[in-house]
Structures are given as C-alpha cells and as structure tokens.
Amino acid sequence: MVHADEQHHVEHCLQHTRLEADMVDRNKYGAIWELFKCGVPKKQIARQLEVDVKTVRTALNKPQWDRYKRQKPESTVLSQFEEWATSRAPEVNFNAAILFRELKDSGYTGCYDTVKLFVRPLRNEHRKHLDAVMRFETAPGKQGQVDWGSAQVWLGETRVRIHFFAMVLGYSRRLFGRAYLDERLQSLLAGHQEAFSWFGGSPKELLYDNPKTIVVERNDRVPTLHPTFADFAGHYGFTPKLCTPYRPQTKGKIESGVKYIKRNFLPGRRFLDLDHLNRELERWLVEVADTRSHGTTGCRPIERFAEEKLLDLKSVPPYRLETALTRQVARDCMITFGGNRYSVPWRFAGQSVRVELWGDEVRILSGEEMIATHAKLCGTGSQSSDPAHYQGLFRERFEKKPEEPPRFDPWWKDEQVEFRDLGIYDFVANL
C-alpha cells in the first residue's frame, strides 16, 4: 500500500518529468538528435545530458523544436470579470491598482498580483500601437527638424550641464549641432542662425516639438506661436511646423541626431571651455557625422547634401533680437550683466552702453557700433576682461605733456610790445 505522501511525491516527479520534456531548449534538443543519429541509446543520451529518458523520447518524437508555452488555465478567479476588465483597462490608463479596487467592489475575491499579470499584456499591446509609426521621407530642401538635448560635460575641472541645439536636414540627414548654456529664446535663435550659416541656407519648413520658446499656448489644439519666434521665421522665410503634443516620434530624425551627438561625440571627452567644445563639435560634424554611412539612407549625408535645395539666405540681414539692456560703464571700464562683469574699451568709461545676449555671446554696443564681445560666463561673480580694452589708457594718463603758460589769466594782456630806438630818449632830454 502506497502512503499519501509517497503518492504525492510520485505525482510531483511525473509532473516535473512532463514539464522537463516540454521545456527542453533548442541546444539540448539538437544534442539529443545528434547523439541519436550517432547510434547512442536513449538511456545513455539521458544520462549524458542529465535528463529523464522520457524527455529524450519526447524530443525524438518531435520533427522540430518548439518553444515551450505555458498552458493557460481554463478558469481562474478573474475569468468572470475578464470581458469587463479588458474594456475598462484602457480607460484607467492600464493602472492595475485602480482596476483591482473597482474589481473588488464588483465582487472579485482574488489578489492584486493576478490583476497586475492580467493587465500587463494589455498594456504592452497598447504601447505597440502607440509606438507604431510610418517612416516619412521628404524631398530635397523640403524639411528640417530641430530639437534640444542636454548632457553633463567636463569644462576644465568642472562638470557642467550643457544644452545642445541640433538641426538635421530631412533629405540628406546632414546634421548641425551647437552647445549652449541654456535653452532660452536667445539661444534658440542663435542656434538657427549658426545652422543656416553652416548649411548655407534653410529648408522650406522646420519641424519642432512644443517648447514655450516657440508655442505660448494651445486653444482647441490650435497653437499660438511666440511672437518673437514667429517674426524670426518670417524674417528668414521658413515655415514652422509643430509635432502633435506628447508624440516625439513624429520628429524621429532629429531625436536620433541628438542621441548620435550624445553617444558618439561626448563619451570620454573633456574641454577647456564652451568655445573649445564647439570647435571640437564642428570638427566631429565634418570628419564623422558628415561622412558616415547613414543607417536609413545608406548614403553619406555630405553626398546627399549636394542635392538639397535650400532657401538662399545670403541677401537676408542678420536678425536682431530687440531685448537689449542699458548699462553704465564703471570707472574700471567694466559693466555688470547677469551677475558677472565684462570689460569695454576704456574711452567709454562713464558712458551708457547697450548690452545684448546672443546665444552664449554677450555683445556690447554704443549707439550702432559694437564695441565689445565676450563669451557668456557661467554662474555669477566672475569677470571677463580683454587686455585690448585698456591699451592706450596708461599712456594717455601718464605721458608728460609740454608745459604751457596760463592762457586765461584776466590780468594778462596779450598785446604786441613796441620796440623803440634808445636815441629818442636822448633827444627828448635835450629839449
């Protein structure tokens, strides 16, 4: 007579054997067949591969290997709620916690993990549909895409968060990048101007996400462009196009371009300052990005660029962003801007000047004359001084001038002195 415990153990072993036979992997399946073809008996194959002989027989009865699939139980504690839960899941954004709470109110007696496992494949299937996009190619010169990316970068001994402006041409996939300290409107416009100069023109339309520097609001899905950006686009003649909100896949070309800069250019690099970073980035664009074989087009971007038909901007004057600030030049020939100090030529000491920020360049003007430019300093409390701004100051101050007599003495009569012959006095004396 077999005890209940022993019977349970035997059943467990048989179940494990059946499961093992079902779950034999591709490599073991191939090994079983190779040994069998060499005339090795089944029991010996089982001993060599450390499997049950029934597993060997099952493998030899299959013409080809099939991946093990767990059989779904015919009925579970959730079965009677499945139809409702399947319809309800997308309405609660596939949130298993909400669904579990509502199921309990409807009489569900199972656990939270069962609901979570039920929701997971539904969520994954939904995401597949969301992620599905149709690749969309554009004609030469038709479209470009613009975006920002950021990364921590070593500038000297300091790790700084740098923001990368990137523009890619849709047809050729030629890429431009520029590093800035922020993503403000001034940096955005400066990045465009640098890109237009790099490419020698602009595509007819540029595709963007929805940053506040471009879109100030949306009413009934109709976007209102930032007035300065709209004026900038009109100045250069391109048409801004906007992605559907929360749908970055629409501009996949530039998303890939930003990742390419961060993954191919930046790793392991260190730079003296922002200017050095941008010089190195330009070199990488020319030597690497322009000449690689693009994964989608199969061509080098610089070769397809010859076919681009960009808007000619040679006759378009630079756009001036009228956000200038007025500053008084101190006696030490410095102005304060953004918590930092910048020098100007000494002859402007004591005068009022205009300060403009273009991207990461501080421009200082007197009237319409640009009298100084500086790279924008990071943080506050720093100073940028150009030695040329002080040339001539000390010579002017300390050079000895020839001494001159007072010219405005009220008692001084600047009259011509008359010279007479002394003989006239003898003549007068004899009278």
Residue 325: C-alpha distances to residues 335, 336, 347 (Å): 11, 11, 20
Under the banding of pLDDT at 50, 70 and 90, the label for residue 246 is low
Report pLDDT for 396.
55
Residue 213: C-alpha distances to residues 183, 189, 362, 378 (Å): 8, 10, 20, 21
Under the banding of pLDDT at 50, 70 and 90, the label for residue 154 is very high
Under the banding of pLDDT at 50, 70 and 90, the label for residue 419 is low
Under the banding of pLDDT at 50, 70 and 90, the label for residue 294 is confident
Lowest mean pLDDT of 244-258, 268-282, 339-353, 369-383, name the range.
Answer: 244-258
Report pLDDT for 1.
44
**Calpha distance 29→67 (Å, rounded):** 11
What are the tens digits of pLDDT across the range 7-45? 444 344 434 444 444 445 667 777 788 888 888 888 888
**One-letter identity of residue 390:** Y
Report pLDDT for 16.
43
Residue 335: C-alpha distances to residues 223, 309, 330, 352, 423 (Å): 40, 44, 6, 10, 73
Residue 345: name the closest of 389, 313, 385 by CA: 389
Q: Residues 275-300: what's their mean pLDDT?
A: 91
Lowest mean pLDDT of 43-57, 157-171, 359-373, 396-410, name the range.
Answer: 396-410
Q: Is the pLDDT of residue 6 over 50?
A: no
Antiparallel, parallel or unpaired: β 334-337 and 143-155:
unpaired
**One-letter identity of residue 327:** R
What are the tens digits of pLDDT across the range 190-245? 999 999 999 999 999 999 988 888 998 877 677 888 888 988 999 999 999 988 76
Q: Is the pLDDT of residue 105 over 80?
A: yes
Report pLDDT for 219.
75
SS3 430: coil
Please state, rounded to an integer, the average pLDDT across all residues of the chain: 81
Select the more confidently predicted residue: 415 or 320: 320
Q: What is the largest CA-CA distance in the chain?
A: 183
Lowest mean pLDDT of 34-43, 370-379, 411-420, name the range.
Answer: 411-420
Q: Is the pLDDT of residue 2 over 50?
A: no
Lowest mean pLDDT of 62-71, 82-91, 264-273, 400-409, name the range.
Answer: 62-71
Under the banding of pLDDT at 50, 70 and 90, the label for residue 129 is low
